[in-house]
Structure 1
Amino acid sequence: MDKVAIVTGAARGIGLATTDLFLEMGWRVAMVDRDGHELALAAGPREGVLAVERDVSDPKAVDAMTRDVLAWGGQIDALINNAGVAEFGPVGDTDFAMWRRVMETNLDGVFLCTQACTDALKATRGSIVNIASISGLRASTLRVAYGTSKAAVIQLSKQHSAELGEFGIRVNCVAPGPVRTKLAMAVHSQEIIDAYHDALPLNRYGSEREIAEAICFLASDKASFVTGQVLAADGGFEATGVGLPALRKT
C-alpha cells in the first residue's frame, strides 16, 4: 500500500464504492465526510483507511484534513472531490440560502480541497478527479442550483488542469448519470425511473461500482496522459435526444 487517496463524501454511495475499489487496488484511503456517525460505520470494518470527519466547505477544516492525511499517510497521490449535496426545486422557490448551501459544498469544497492538496500532489505528480453530474452538461427542471454548481465544477476542473499540468498533476472530471443509490431509489418515483430509462440508450440506471471504476481509472497511472477531460458515465444520456421510446415500440 504505497499510494494514498483522499475521497470526500466517502461515508456512502459513490464515495464508499470508490473507497472500496481503491482498497482493492492496494491503495490506502483517507475517507472524509462531515457525517461522523455514518463515517464511523463505513470506516470501522475496513483496513487501510483513515476516517476524517471534516466539512469540505470550511477552509480551516480542509486545511486540518490535509494535515491529518499527511501525518497518517505521508503523501497524497489522488484527490477525489466527491462530496456533494442535492437540493431541488423550482427556480422561484430557490432562495439564496439554498443556493449557497449547494454551492458551498459542491463548488467551494472542490476549490478548497484542491488548493489545500496541491503542494502534496506536486510532490507525487498525483491526480485529481472531481465528481460533477450529467446535470452539469445538460439542463433539467428543478436543478438551478445543483446543475449550475456541477457545470462550474466541470469548468473548474479544466481551469486546474490547465495550470497544474506543468507540475505533473492531472485533473479530470466524471459526470455520472442516474445512479442506483439508496438515496435515489428512496426519492425517485416509478414515473421518474421510467422516464430515465426512456432517455437512456442502455435503458437502466448505473451502479455505484460502475462510477467508481471510471473514477479510479482516471486517478490511476492507466490514464497517465489524460487531463482536462469530462467523462460522462451516464448510459448514453448526454448523447441522445428524443425518440428512444418510440424506437423501442417498433
Structure 2
Amino acid sequence: MRFIAMHKTEPRWEAGAIPGEELISRVGKLMGEFMKAGILLGGEGLRASAQGVRLRFSGGKRTVTKGPFTPSNELPAGFLIVRTASLDEASAWASRYASIVGDVEIDIRPVTEPWDIGMVPMPQELAARRYMLLYKADAASESGRPRPAEQRAKLSALFEEMSGAKVLLTNIGLRPSQHGKRYTFQGERYSVVDGPFAESKELIAGYAMFQAKSLEEASEWALRYGTAVAALEVDLRAVEEP
C-alpha cells in the first residue's frame, strides 16, 4: 500500500526562510533510511505560497488569487507535479484539468529545488521548473465515490497528453481522509486524531510518499517524518491505487 505524509507550513517558511544545515541533515538521514528500507516513492518541499497562485473554478468561471494565501479549506484530494516554463503555463494546465472535473480549488506553488535552499548553484539557463498543482477535497471526493466514467476517460486523455508533452511528472490521488491520521506535535510530545478530518486550516509545506504494509506501519514512519522536519502537524493519507 502507498501512503503519503504531508507536513504543514509555519510562519517562518511562509516568510521565505530556508532550512538550516541541521534540518537538512536530519531530513536527509531519514530519507536515507526510507531508501535503505526500500519503501521511498518520492518526496518534495514547497516554496512559500507568496510565489504561487490559487485558482477557484465555479460555474465555469475562474477566479485567480495571487499568493500569499489565507488558509481556508486546505484538505487535499490529490495533486499533480508538472514541469513548465512558467507559473502561467502551469495555470493553463490546471484550467484544462478544471474544465473536466468542474468546480474545484487548485493551489499552484513552486516545488523546492536544491538551489532554492543553497545546496547547489542555480543553473545558468533555467528553461523550466517544477510546480505542484494541489486540488482540494470536497464532499464528493471525501465520500469515496469514483468519478463518472466519462470524466475518468477525459482525465486519462489529458494526463496522456501532458506526459507526451513531458509536462506531467507526478499524478497522485488520495483516498478519503477517513483512511488517514493527523498528528499534532508539541515538542517531543504528540497527539493523534483518526480521520475523517473536517478540513485542514494549514497550508502544505512538503511531503514524503512511501510504501507500507498497513496503516499502523505507515504511522511509525509518519511520526519519524514529523520529528525529522520539525513539523507542528502532519497528515498521513492513503494514496489512491489504480
Query: TM-score when scaled to structure 2?
Result: 0.29
Higher RCO, Cα 8 Å, sep 6+: 2
Q: Per residue, is there more helix in 1 or in 2? A: 1
Q: Per residue, is there more strand in 1 or in 2? A: 2
